[in-house]
Copies of this chain bind each other. A is one copy, B any other.
Amino acid sequence: MRTYFAVLVIGSLLVGVFAVQPEPGPMRASKQQPDPSKKTLLVIHGGAGVLTEQEMKAEGLVRSDFEQALARALAAGHEAVKDKGRTSVNAVEAAIRVMEDSGLFNAGRGAAFNSDGRVELDAAIMEGNMTGQGEGKRDPRKRAGAVTGVAHIKNPISAARAVMEMDGSRHVMLAGDGAETFALGEAVSRRYRIERVSNLYFWSDRRLRHIREEFKKEGAAGGKKSASAATPDHGGSAERRFGTVGAVAVDTDGHLAAGTSTGGLTNKLPGRIGDSPVIGAGTYADDRACGVSCTGTGEVFMRHAVAHDVVARMLYAKNSVADAARATIDALPDEEGGVGGLIALDREGRHTFALSKKSAGMYRGFVTADGQILVAIYAAERPRPINLAPKRQDAKSKGR
């Protein structure tokens, strides 16, 4: 609730209070009727583990590069969901595609390398809708789709969506070559704008430097050590080790969707699957509770089924979305250099950011129903309003 009121306050300062009809949905524990134009429609993250401003400088980047990338993702997602009839799943996909393409985050272009010098990408998407999409609409069902270990798909989030939607949702999760064969089939790739790219497309100067430094540190044992022994890597900043992008949205029908996309852990073993594509670990949505997307040390998030845990606390312990998210993150083991955070959004448009104690920050932001975009990076910061730069300024020539 605190976050929600912060949104209200900041929003009110910025644009004044619009005269609107009272909110029809149930607003538990809220005495005043919130302004529906200030509801959060979409909340996103670009990963826990952030660069300090000094580290940005060393990479040829500045703070506003990240702020603008987040704002562009929020604007794209807002455009996809703001009107009646648009769906939250459109917003999640649109926002994540922008982040996958930006080159700034550990997802899509600019993702981390594995221990064998390849970029292998994971993504998942899920709908909270319990009423089903079928003709009868009798079967309650929460559709979900995920891909893991894809190396030639420009926008893995769209491949995840294809897995979710095509063929009556027969499968939820596809890996590796099987996932690529499915997603790059003619009908699927056209419908979901899925493009085949060389693995080189994902390579950035930054990540290439990171992985080559890691490899040298481990000793040039012909890749043997990293391929078979998987030495834990506690060196380097969190930003070097992990990162993710994610989004949660609610549409005018009150349906939630959540999605996550990542290149995974830097120097991970080939074939390693993290939490992002695992329904219940890094990604989950349930209209009765909330949508969740996580970022951090994937192995911890998997073992604690973090995304589903937030939903379960709302359903069974009757927590609010903010309390559930906080409790779930606080219950995680305080692993060295690890853990991370999550974003969550309930169907009343209340969002929350939860970060583990030792995390320095999380690239994050949200957009309200009336299009106000707010963004933050470091842990202690409150989100602040961002105006989209008139000229599209991306990282194409920066930090790559």
Contact = CB atoms under 8 A, between A and B. Distances in A.
Contact of A182 (B230, B304, B308): B230
- Dominant secondary structure at the A interface: mixed
B176 A176 contact: yes
A309 interface: yes
Interface string A167-201: 11111111111110110010110000000000000
Nearest to A335: B139
B178 A271 contact: yes
Given A166-B230, A232-B170, A272-B174, A305 B317 contact: no
B166 A272 contact: no
A324 to B, nearest CB: 10
Interface string A141-174: 1111010110000000000000000111111111
Contact of A268 (B146, B171, B279, B304): B171
The complex is assembled from copies of this chain, and their number is 2
Interface string A267-288: 0111111100011110010000
Contacts of A281: 279-280
Contacts of A334: 139
A231 interface: yes
B227 A171 contact: no
A140 interface: yes
A323 interface: no
Nearest to A180: B271
**Residue from the set A268, A269, A284 with the largest chain B CB neighbour count within 10 Å:** A269
26 contacts: A141-B335, A149-B176, A169-B299, A170-B232, A170-B299, A171-B269, A171-B272, A172-B303, A175-B271, A175-B273, A178-B272, A179-B271, A181-B227, A182-B271, A187-B228, A278-B279, A279-B305, A280-B281, A280-B302, A280-B305, A280-B308, A305-B305, A308-B308, A308-B312, A312-B313, A316-B316
